Amino acid sequence: MGSFSIWHWLIVLVIVLVLFGRGKVSEIMGDFGKGIKSFKEGMNEDDDKPAKPESKPAQIASGEPAPSASETVKSDQA
């Protein structure tokens, strides 16, 4: 009793076709397919874009050499 037989699904299909018409159902399914396609393209665009490089510190932008790791540790301890 819990599962539907093929006759149940055929009756539901006939009712849907009568209410919406054959053209309307195919139009809805076409729009659904276009939505899925655009979603996949949007997901692929995110994967194609490389990660943005982090902004450079002001010292590098001004032409001065960046301090080495040992220099930054020494200056933090002082």
Distance CA 65, CA 73 (A): 16
State the pTM of this model: 0.38
For the segment 47-71, what is each residue's pLDDT rounded down to a tens digit?
666 656 666 555 555 556 666 666 5
Distance CA 14, CA 11 (A): 5
Grade residue 32 by pLDDT with cuts at 50, 70 and 90: very high
**Residue 29 CB-half CA count within 13 A:** 8
Grade residue 37 by pLDDT with cuts at 50, 70 and 90: very high
Distance CA 22, CA 20 (A): 7
